[in-house]
Homo-oligomer: A and B are copies of this chain.
Amino acid sequence: MARDDVIEDLYHQLSSLIRRSRELSNELHPGLSLIAHTFLNLVESTPHIQASDLVDLLGLDKSTVSRQLNQLFDEGLLDREGGRPGRRGDPLSLTSKGRRVLAADANQVRSQVTQWLADWDSRSIADFARSIERFNASVTQAVLA
């Protein structure tokens, strides 16, 4: 297969995947949205993370991050250490409810994905994950360049 065709093919597969992403999200997270899960996950795994870090890490607009965070505050999943909205550089942390919800969600994700991939051997899954990672890195690099 010529390189152009290989690339064309990848593009089509990628498109399908992306088009289905909303559906995947819904299946995966009956409770949390993908973006909420991502936020909670980052907060859990990154001590002293603050809003602006999320902006950088996720490449989102600060307004998006602000609103998303406020929603998580309102739902009682996240804590603004110090509790003062608008306070610059205030470290974020999970509430115990947040920890619970995130754990439950992660569980759900794991079992859902496990079900999807029932007939994949672990090697193929790992290879797939590596490919995506490499792809993400390639794109990042190309965009920065």
Report Cα–Cα, A126/B134, bound state, in Å: 14
Report Cα–Cα, A35/B120, bound state, in Å: 30
Q: A131 contacts the other chain (Cβ, under 8 Å)? A: yes
Query: Which of chain B's residues have a CB closer than 8 A to the CB of A110?
Result: 4, 7-8, 11
Copies in the complex: 2
**In the complex, how many residues of chain A place their beta carbon closer than 8 angstroms to a beta carbon of chain B?**
57
Most chain-B CB neighbours within 10 Å: which of A15, A21, A119, A143?
Answer: A15
In A106-145, the 8 Å CB interface with B consists of 106, 109-110, 113-120, 122, 124-129, 131-136, 138-139, 142-143
What would be 7 A-B contacts, judged by CB atoms less than 8 Å apart?
A9-B129, A10-B113, A17-B136, A19-B34, A19-B35, A115-B142, A116-B135
